[in-house]
Amino acid sequence: MNILITNDDGYAAPGLLALKTALSNVGTLRVVAPEHNHSASGHVKTMHKPLRLSEVKLADGSTAHAASGAPSDCVALVLLGALDFKPDLVFSGINPNCNLGHDVTYSGTVTAAMEGAIGGVPSVALSAASAEAYPAAAEFAVRLAQRVFEKGLPREVLLNVNVPDPPVRGVQVTRMGTRVYRDELVVRRDPRGRPYYWIGGDHPSGVPDDGTDIWATDNHFISVTPIQLDLTGYAWLDAVRAWNLSS
Stretch 46-64: mean pLDDT? 95
Q: Say if residue 232's pLDDT is above 90.
A: yes
Q: How confident is the model at residue 60 (pLDDT cuts 50, 70, 90)?
A: very high
pTM of the predicted model as reported, rounded to 2 decimal places: 0.94
- Whether 203 shows a pLDDT value over 90: the answer reads no
- 58: Cβ contacts below 8 Å, ≥ 6 apart: 11, 12, 16, 17, 20, 31, 64
- State residue 247's pLDDT score: 81
Q: Above 90 in pLDDT, residue 40?
A: no
Q: Alpha-carbon distance 9 to 91, whole Å?
A: 14
| Contact present, 117 and 157 (Cβ < 8 Å) | yes
Adjacent-strand bridge partners of 64: 56
How many other C-beta atoms can be found within 10 angstroms of the C-beta atom of residue 40? 14
Once rounded to an integer, what is the mean pLDDT over residues 189-194?
A: 96
| Cα angle for residues 152, 146, 225 (degrees, 5° grid) | 60
| pLDDT of 174 above 90 | yes
Could you give the 3-state DSSP secondary structure of residue 114? helix
In order of start, what are the domains of the chain with their CATH numbers?
2-177+207-241 (3.40.1210.10)
Contacts of 151 (CB under 8 A, 6+ apart): none
> Residue 214 in 3-state DSSP?
helix
Mean pLDDT, to the nearest integer, of 130-136?
97
For residue 44, what are the contacts with CB-CB under 8 A and spacing of at least 6?
A: 38, 69, 70, 71, 72, 73, 108, 111
